[in-house]
Amino acid sequence: MFMTRSRRAAALAVCLCSALALIANDSWLDPYRQPALRIMAAATGNDDAWQRLALLTDTFGPRLSGTPALEAALRWAAEEMKKDFDEVRLDPVMVPHWVRGAESLEIVTPQPGTLAMLGLGNSIGTGGAPLEAELLVVRSFNDLEAHAGRAKGRIVLFNVPYTTYGETVQYRSNGPSRAAAHGAVAALVRSVGPPGLRTPHTGALRYASDRPQIPAAAIATEDADRLQRMQDRGTRVVLRLRMEAKFLPDAQSANLVAEYTGRERPEEIVAIGCHIDSWDVGAGATDDGGGCVAMWEAVRVLRRLELRPRRTIRVVFWTNEENGLRGGLAYRDKYRSQLDRHVLMLESDGGVFRPTGFGFTGPEHARALVTQIGSLLAPIGADRIGPNGGGADIGPSVEAGNVPAMSLEVDGSKYFLIHHTQADTVDKIEPADIARCVAAVGVMAYITADMPQSLR
Ligand SMILES: [Zn+2]
């Protein structure tokens, strides 16, 4: 909508005023103080969430799109959730089916040996034969451009130390096509994460449509540094890469939708969710099984306490976040006509470590309200409402429906150490931390679904 500058300023002033008035007056919260304490006590008084996450990940293991394990986990969760929700359904979604196959990376010259590696998701393979080529290590895209003339026929390694995920992941996503543009025959990336215990991190790449597709893999930070040192000494390194990675035809999967029906305005929805798929290594415990279990347990706690909110709380386990986002897109398309009745969408996809609060994106009056609700989470240290809320799976719906968006925020110090690795297992999560995540989500979901005001 077009607004003149003065009208915009006036609107902003009104907006700020009402926001400040709300902060000043939080008496509307009073009826929620006791329920919030009860939710926190009920959620943190046991290790139900951790036990359920252990059950999920021990039983089904990794849950890559297209695998029987993902579908079995969905069916199991749907069946179990019937005990805790009023309505449970599986909305069919077709998902890409990428398979890793056998893979290896060896040093041929100077001294033969093997390197720990993981092919990048969505990569092509090496065409049924090993690919042998000389190595070129670069430290950035600029460094690649500066040495573009040397990339032809080589395996290019992007040895870029981790800063933030958003920044460093560019090399995993786009590095292969950038290297292919200069004639590289394969690409390697230093794993996107802080130095770990010689553990490669997988994750999706994105081929540019106007560049040749080349096979690509991640190696451990230690090996990236080793290859860098060898190049810096002037050693000629030849590598042999073997990958059977390929796509099979799209497979049947589903989004799991479970509803705790609102008592007064059931057509209005607070949607809280996670993604149930994971990479094919580790067990998808932090990414994102824990997010799913936290959402599920939050509703179980409300039910146990007989707290039935005015609006419906809809728990969604999205499928195929990792290598396609088909679940998030399918949800937007299926529920497009309901999006204006989604008062909030909340995603947990950053791990279920010690919660610090929520990120929020939405109108200012809504920010003021959720900030007040957040204050009730001070007893568990989860009272901070940060500037940005959202998530990959809720993204398409949030954008299409202009829905206020939230993300569960946690202590992130461990997350990217194990993200997309063999080490993403339940033992990395403290039972007390996931229990606090359940408490934080329970309070936020209950009050936003029950309060007389709307966040929209
Ligand atoms: Zn995730």
DSSP string, 385-403: EES----TTTHHHHHHHT-
Predicted pLDDT of residue 20 = 52
Report how far ligand 1's centroid is from the alpha carbon of 128 (Å).
31
Identify whether the C-beta of residue 439 lies closer than 8 Å to the C-beta of residue 382. yes
Average pLDDT, integer, range 86-102: 98
With a cut of 80, say whether residue 12 has pLDDT above it: no
Is pLDDT above 60 for 3?
Answer: no
Mean pLDDT to the nearest integer, 216-224: 98
For residue 16, what pLDDT band results from cuts at 50, 70 and 90? low
List of residues 6+ apart from 79 with CB closer than 8 A: none
Expressed in angstroms and rounded, the spacing between residue 288 Cα and the centre of ligand 1 is: 5
Question: 406-440: per-residue pLDDT in tens?
Answer: 999 999 999 999 999 999 999 999 999 999 999 99
- CA-CA distance, 327 to 363, in Å (whole number)? 26
Q: What percent of the chain has pLDDT over 70?
A: 95
Query: Is the pLDDT at 363 greater than 70, yes or no?
Result: yes
Q: Name the packing angle between helices 431-450 and 290-304 (round to 10°).
A: 60
Q: Can you tell me the distance from the alpha carbon of 112 to that of 130, in angstroms, rounded to the nearest whole number?
A: 15
- pLDDT at 403 (0 to 100): 98
Distance from the alpha carbon of residue 289 to the mean position of ligand 1, in angstroms: 9
Q: Is 302 within 8 Å of 39 (Cβ atoms)? A: yes
- How, if at all, do strands 87-99 and 355-361 pair? unpaired
Contact 136, 227 (CB under 8 A): no
pLDDT of 322 > 50? The answer is yes
Total residue count of the chain as it appears in this document:
456
- The alpha carbon dihedral of 216, 220, 224, 230 has a sign of negative
Let me know: does 274 contact 317? Beta carbons within 8 Å: yes
CB within 8 A of 351, min separation 6: which ones? Answer: 286, 287, 290, 291, 410, 412, 414, 415, 429
DSSP 160: -
pLDDT above 70 for 132: yes
The model's confidence at residue 25, banded by pLDDT at 50, 70 and 90, is: confident
Query: 196 vs 134, which has greater pLDDT?
Result: 134
The answer on pLDDT for 195 being more than 70 is yes
Which residue type sits at 233? R
Distance 186 CA to ligand 1 centre (A): 26
User: Across residues 304-326, what is the average pLDDT?
Assistant: 98
| Terminal-residue alpha carbon distance, the chain | 17
For residue 60, give every residue at least 6 positions away whose Cβ sits within 8 Å of its Cβ, in sequence order, or none.
69, 70, 72, 73, 76
Query: Is the pLDDT confidence value at 86 over 60?
Result: yes
DSSP string, 209-233: TTS----EEEE-HHHHHHHHHHHHT
* Look-up of token digits 């749907």: 78
pLDDT at 421: 98
CA of 431 to the centre of ligand 1 (A): 20
Say what the pTM is. 0.93
In degrees and rounded to multiples of 5, residue 38 shows phi and psi of -65, -40
Q: Could you please report the per-residue DSSP string of 322-386?
A: TTT-HHHHHHHHHTGGGGGGEEEEEE--S-SSSEEEEEEES-HHHHHHHHHHHHTTGGGT--EEE
pLDDT of residue 2: 42
Residues paired with 252 in a beta bridge: 94
Average pLDDT over residues 190-207: 96
- pLDDT the model gives residue 1: 41
pLDDT at 4: 44
Would you say 162 and 168 are in contact if contact means Cβ atoms under 8 Å apart?
yes
Q: 243 C-alpha to center of ligand 1: Å?
A: 25
Q: How far is the CA of 290 from the centre of ligand 1 (A)?
A: 10
Residue 219: closest CA among 352, 129, 113, 354: 113
Q: What are the residue numbers of the active site?
A: 321
> How much is the average pLDDT of 4-9?
48
Nearest residue to 368 (alpha-carbon basis) of 360, 376, 379: 360
The residues placing their C-beta within 5 Å of ligand 1, an ion, are 287-288, 349
C-alpha to C-alpha distance for 294 and 315, rounded to whole angstroms:
10
CB 144 within 8 A of CB 151: yes
> For residue 36, what are its two tokens?
């919030």
In the predicted model, is pLDDT for residue 37 greater than 70?
yes
Mean of per-residue pLDDT scores for the chain: 95
Among the listed residues 234, 372, 259, the one whose alpha carbon sits nearest the alpha carbon of residue 311: 259
Q: Which residues make Cβ contacts (< 8 Å) with residue 146, sequence separation at least 6? A: none
